[in-house]
Structure formats: structure tokens, C-alpha cells
Structure 1
Amino acid sequence: MKKTATQASAKKAPMSSLVVKEGEGAWTKAELDEVLDELHTQRDKLVHVLDEAEHDLAGLMRDAGDGAGHDQADMGATSFERDHELTVLNNEREMLAQIDRALGHIHDGSYGICESCGEPIGKMRLMAFPRATLCMTCKQREERR
């Protein structure tokens, strides 16, 4: 069976097509393996944290009840704790989505391209923060807003 050009390019080592900033060398297998290891490690930890947080939140929701037998301070503390757990859970889910997006970009060869301007993000930034989706200029611009 003959492979199509798309199937053949998908089987190529993705590091050969990953962009780099001017003056940077191409991604080496060791560098890409380091980034992949970091992303997979972070992903495994997040999945575990999310499982625990969802379990804790389910307990908070179940125990919330109608407030009978609880004074206002207890209900306020429970509400605050539930809101905090929801915030943490949403942040963790967003990080997991970022990791999955980075892994997808590595797989399809678009890793390292700024999602805002389309320029290379830079290997040093990606090795320090593998989930990065913006180059430093665009990230700084975003943070100023």
C-alpha cells in the first residue's frame, strides 16, 4: 500500500520541521525529548490533581445541603471553599488544555509558532516554558492590557 504525502510527512521526525528563531540551531532529538518529557510529566501530575480536586469538589457540593443546622459563618466558609476549589479546578483544566495543545503542535509540526503574530517563539523560551503559545513580544503586549 502506497503512503500519501500527508501520511509520509506525519511519520517524519517532527523536530525537522519545527521553527526556530533566527540564530538558533534546529531542534535536536535530545532537546525535543526533554520538552516532551516535561510536558508528559506535567500532564500526568495535572490529571492526578484534577481527579483529586473533582472528588473534593463533589464532596463539597454534596455536603452543601440546604443550610439546615449551619450558621451563616459555616455556610459562608463552605461557599468560599467551594468557589476556591472551582477556581483551582478551572485553572488546572486550562493548564491541561495548554499541554494537550502543545503536544498537538509538536505532533503536527507547528510547535514554536506564536499564535498571535506567527513568528517563532524561540527554543529557550519553549524549553523553559513548554506550554508557551506566544513569543515574548506578544506575551508582554498581552500582559500590559
Structure 2
Amino acid sequence: MNRAETGESPLRPGDLEEAAVRLSEQADRLRSRLARNEETASALRADCDLDAADTGAKAVTLRELHSRAETDAALLERTVAALDRLRGGSFGICTRCGRPQGRERALALPHAELCVVCAEERAGERGAGPGG
């Protein structure tokens, strides 16, 4: 029986250490960006001395900040979940099918939850829509 059949991770201890460092650094960067983003948004909302053109630009900037914050928050959530999987011994295992993600994928995208096959299936499901 091979690793793909048993759901055993092909990652070595050094790989796990590297992933832990990268994930921790990524989580720290994302937390910092989210905090800076909130500071910027708060400052924009507090600025009352704006003319009509400034108000429009402020609204666009706030929407962009909000969008960026949502993206960063989602990535932070996946990063923290990956750290939890690492601590729990299931890092590098697809959360959908239970098979190994593959060493290269786990190291290249340590926050990834799915193997390539499941990620492609999920992308197809999202793009299929009601008729497909």
C-alpha cells in the first residue's frame, strides 16, 4: 500500500518545519496588513473636511480597503487552519478526499486545503452554475 492510499503525508520533518515557519510568517504579515488597513479606513472615515470629489474618492478607497481586508482575512483563516493541521498531524493531506496533496503543492502553497484534483473539481463546481 502506498502513501496515496493510506493518506500518509509525503512530507519530511524538515518540510514540516519549513511550512510552519512560512505559515507563521504569513499569518503575522496578514495580521499586520489587516491592522494597517483598519487604521487607514478609520482615518478616512474620521476625515470630515472633504468636498464632493473627495467624498467620492474616499468611498472608492474604502471599498478597495474593504475588499482587500476580506481577501486578507480569508487567507489568514486558511493560514491558521493550515497551522492547526500541521500541529494536528494532518498537514499535507487533502481536507476533502483525505489523500496526500503532494510535497510540491504543500510546500508551494502551505495554506492550501485541497489536493490538485479536488481543487480543480471545486473550481469546476463553482463555474458550472445552474445549467452546468
Category of TM-score, reference length = shorter chain: 0.7 to 0.9
Query: Counterpart in 2 of 1:4?
Result: none
1:96 corresponds in structure 2 to 76
Retained in 1: the 8 A contact 2:94–2:100? Answer: yes
- Separation of aligned partners in 2, 1:21 and 1:118: 9
Asked whether the 8 Å contact 2:9–2:90 carries over to 1, the reply is no
**Shift >3 Å, 4+ stretches:** none
TM-score (norm 1): 0.74
CA distance in 2, matches of 1:21, 1:60: 51
**What residue ranges of structure 2 are gaps of 5+ in the alignment?**
128-132
Q: Indicate the SS of the match to 2:95.
A: coil
Structure number with greater Rg is 1
Identical residues among aligned pairs (%): 29
User: Is 1:102–1:130's contact at 8 Å kept on the other side of the alignment?
Assistant: yes
Which residue of 88, 91, 99 corresponds with 1:119? Answer: 99
Q: Does 2:28 match 1:39? A: no
Which residue does the alignment assign to 1:15? none
Report the RMSD for the aligned CA atoms in angstroms: 2.1
Structure 1 stretch displaced more, 116-125 or 126-135: 116-125
Bigger shift: 45-54 or 83-92?
45-54
Q: Which runs of 5+ in 1 are unaligned?
A: 1-19
Amino acid at match of 1:44: D
Q: Distance in 1 between matches of 2:91 and 2:75?
A: 17
**1:54 counterpart (38, 41, 45):** 38
- Corresponding letter in the other structure for 1:34: E
Q: Which residue of 1 aligns with 2:51?
A: 70
Match of 1:87 in 2: 67
Give the total of aligned pairs.
121
Normalised by the length of structure 2, the TM-score is 0.80
Letter in 1 for 2:41: L
Change (3 A) 1:25 1:86: closer
